[in-house]
Structure 1
Amino acid sequence: MYFVLLSVLAYLSTCHCLIEDGKVDENHCVRLKELLDSSSVSLEITKKGFHREVVTTVELSLDALSGVRVMLVHRWPRGVYLDPYQLASLSDHSDWQILLDSAIDLEVPAHKTSGFVTYVYPSPLRPTSRLLRVTLPIHGRYHEPTFDEKRFTSVNIEPPDLLCLNVNLCSFLGVEFNNFKPHTVLDAPCSPDNSSTCPWVRVHHQQKQGPVCLQFPVGDGSLVTPVCAGTLLVTMICCVALSKYMWEHRIV
């Protein structure tokens, strides 16, 4: 009799805990949905010439939510590049870490390369803050000379995607994702180590900032022949003059 009574009480307490956990998980997911809806991302370009800086500012509502990680995904066009060695030196003194999706050749011109993606993670040693600002140095590539009157070419820098990963109560599995529309889910590296992927929630902004247009100078293709001919002529004159000087002064 006592055994049956104890079993019933244990079952009722287990159900009560599951219900309470479900309420906590639901409330947590609701707060996460509010965070996604209220977040904002802005981008600006500083400096001039071939060497610029991309400053990204992220504002989050984290007053009542913990256990959330964020990440910025930049999709760069082929007209610019990031120097991995420069990034490595900067990340040692910054509050962020960066992962490149492919190797970057610093020497090739724009028309012989392709775009790439970077994943920017805030430092795991600090909790996610309400205001996140990341500054990335970018460099313009040399472009193929043109044969028209254009002396500049345009390169559009798109604002990054903001991704959120919940590491606490809300699991985001299966049909639960439907509760977070218009936000979508995609797989991305969990950390800068790129050892595994995690389901991140991509924040959809109703009024997303448009691309920032950069202008880089390009060469005049019609001048290729006269420049090459002039360079060859000057080289030959210098060689003749140097040879004559060496012959007159018997310099071996």
Structure 2
Amino acid sequence: MNRRINGKTIIITGASGGIGEQMAIKVAENGGNLALIARRVHLLQALKEKLTTTFNCKVEVYPLNVTDYDQIPLVFTAIRKDFGSIHALINNAGYGIFQEAHETSFQDVKGMMDVNVLGLMACTGEVLPYMREQGFGHIINIASQAGKFATPKSSAYSASKHAVLGYTNSVRMEARRYGVKVTAVNPGPIATDFFSIADETGTYVKNVEKFMLDPAFVAGKVVDSLFTNKREINLPRWMNIGSKFYQLFPSFVEKVGNNLFFKK
């Protein structure tokens, strides 16, 4: 059991499936208490039952779409009332749609920005003043390698994750003075139902299936970083190397990799 996590209260958004669900399991395994946020209430309730039956932890569920900005303060107030303290927030809610820019509707662009960026900022804004006051806390934002290395058919999604990284980096420097840790997580493609929306044709999944990350593996890396000074988690390692190479030689990478990138 991880002593850093044992007895702490962790909020996870987007907790009803994928790495959100897997992170909840990992936190419960280590004795943490959980406030689970998502839209799909029946899945949250099933996860709560599973965790409370298997582990000695407190779990509460909070139905919320993070784009319902007026509801976010009410939910976080309820969490503080139910748990007393908030020690960590993992901003995991998000989605993507893989289309060329001219094919992507403004409604879809706005949807990705509302969930991936503004929802994340709104949730962070609810815990940050409290964590600063208590002099302790950890905020983990699930971004993406797409936030470092944009490719065709992901213009709006990449833009949203670039925004998440910019926000995270700024908040990290601000919060450090008050004992609050901030970590960005930049995974490559993960084998979850994310692609049921992002890749309706199945083309991208077919092309990268053998490279996809296991959600339990990613969740383990994130949960292991709780209450440490980890600045970033970049997975897989080879993709992060590619992102760094792109930052150094963008023209070369765009020219040489152009055809490959369009396999998305």
Report which of the two structures shows the higher radius of gyration computed on alpha carbons.
Answer: 1
Query: Above 0.5 in TM-score?
Result: no
| Greater share of residues in helix | 2
**What TM-score does the superposition give when structure 2 sets the normalisation length?**
0.23
Task: Give the number of the structure with larger relative contact order, counting CA–CA contacts within 8 Å between residues 6 or more apart.
Answer: 1
| Greater share of residues in strand | 1
**What TM-score does the superposition give when structure 1 sets the normalisation length?**
0.24
